[in-house]
Amino acid sequence: MINSTQVSYFTFSAYFDTGHLKYLYFIIVMCLYIFIVFANVLPVVAICMNRSLHEPMYIFLCSLFVNGLYGSTGLFPFLLVQILSDVHTIAASFCFLQIFCVYTYGSVEFLNLAVMSYDRYLAICCPLQYNTRMTGNRVAVLIAVTWSVVFIVNFCTLPLIVPLQLCGNIINKVYCDNHSIVKLACYDTTANNIYGLFVSAFSVFGPLILILYTYIKILLVCFSGSQQTRQKAVSTCTPHLASLLNFSFGACFEILQSRFNMNSVPNVLRIFLSLYFLTCPPLFNPVMYGLNLPKIRVICKNLISNICKVLAAT
């Protein structure tokens, strides 16, 4: 039997030998990461530097973009090292740190989207009360609660997985996740499974219920409202729904892959889909909102233009 004090590292079995192509994969992943960082930093800077964007909707978007940066940074630097490495291992301490980053990213994403749906509900269904109900202080509290509660809830998973007695150290993925570690345990993991269900209910099902409730209310107002109300609802809710569906697809596949046997799925496709929820939302969200929100689009264009002028001058 191997216990947790003897397991100093984990080995990833999902990687396969790519020969000299690994340098091409490294360049592709590096370019993707650079683009994700640039695409998320740009609107964050635009929102922070322009007082005209200091509105609840844009502040929540800023939180969404920051979370995209946080989640992708928890994956891409590690992934780049693994692509170039011939031995795909990770120290146990860094594995647990990556688990914490990945799960907090996913939880914050769902809660942030739920808060944004509540904001859209107030703006469309209660427009006259919006400014009094969605004040600056309330926005700050909602964002602070979203991040702090998620970090506390997910931090509590570490005392459950770190002491586990493990009968192996092979993880059939390209990064660490909680369920892969739990499956290596030598004894009953009922406590881990129960707490995992609680975390899932808190970070996934709770926000989804709130999102469904708010959109049912929005739809009812749209059907009984004017053409102008319907147009406002469509223009403000379409990017949010697209972000929700995009992230939910990746998260659902990750949950299914962690808990069911997916050996029938080709390895390359399984790797791609396991990385989807950590890669596509941070890439998709700033592009989607940048294209659909004229204020952000114009200010980002001006920022890019100014950056290009500075670079040309030097």
pLDDT at 40 over 80: yes
HSE of 189, CA atoms in CB hemisphere, 13 A = 23
Q: What percent of the chain has pLDDT over 70?
A: 95
Tens-digit pLDDT profile for residues 159-199: 888 888 888 888 888 888 888 888 888 877 777 778 777 87
Model pLDDT, residue 101: 92
Identify whether the C-beta of residue 104 lies closer than 8 Å to the C-beta of residue 153.
no
> Judging by beta carbons within 10 Å of its beta carbon (0-12, 13-18, 19+), is residue 14 exposed, middle or buried?
middle
Identify which has the larger pLDDT, 249 or 137: 137
Alpha helix segments (H runs only) across 203-265:
206-224, 227-259
Alpha helix segments (H runs only) across the chain:
21-49, 56-73, 76-84, 92-125, 130-133, 136-155, 158-161, 178-182, 190-200, 206-224, 227-259, 267-292, 294-313
What is d(CA 201, CA 71) in angstroms, rounded to the nearest whole number? 21
Please work out, in degrees rounded to the nearest 5, the angle formed at the alpha carbon of residue 256 by the alpha carbons of 250 and 260: 155
Contacts 24+ apart (CB under 8 A), 301-305: 303/42, 303/45, 303/46, 304/42
Tens-digit pLDDT profile for residues 78-136: 999 998 888 888 998 899 999 999 989 999 999 999 999 999 889 888 888 888 899 98
Range in 8-12, 20-24, 174-178, 201-205 with the lowest mean pLDDT: 201-205
Model pLDDT, residue 313: 76
Tokens 């005392």 locate to: 159
Most confident stretch, 126-140, 253-267, 281-295: 126-140
For residue 133, which amino acid is it? Answer: R
For residue 14, which amino acid is it? Answer: A
User: In sequence order, which residues have a C-beta less than 8 Å from that of residue 132 and are 6 or more positions away?
Assistant: none
pLDDT at 218 over 50: yes
Tokens 């500075």 locate to: 310
Q: What's phi and psi for 170, nearest 5 deg?
A: -100, 120
Model pLDDT, residue 141: 94
Task: List the one residue out of 201, 242, 171 whose CA is nearest residue 7.
Answer: 171
Tens-digit pLDDT profile for residues 63-81: 999 999 999 999 999 999 9
pLDDT at 30 over 90: yes
Model pLDDT, residue 262: 66
Model pLDDT, residue 148: 93
Averaged pLDDT score across all residues of the chain: 84
Model pLDDT, residue 76: 93
Q: Would you state the CATH architecture of domain 9-313? A: Up-down Bundle (1.20)
* pTM for this predicted structure: 0.89
Strand bridging mode 89-91 / 170-171: unpaired
Model pLDDT, residue 263: 67
pLDDT band at 6 (very low <50, low <70, confident <90, very high): low
What is d(CA 91, CA 148) in angstroms, rounded to the nearest whole number? 27
Strand ranges, E, within 169-213: 170-171
Which secondary structure element, helix H or strand E, spans residue 273, and what is its range?
helix 267-292
Identify whether the C-beta of residue 69 lies closer than 8 Å to the C-beta of residue 286.
no
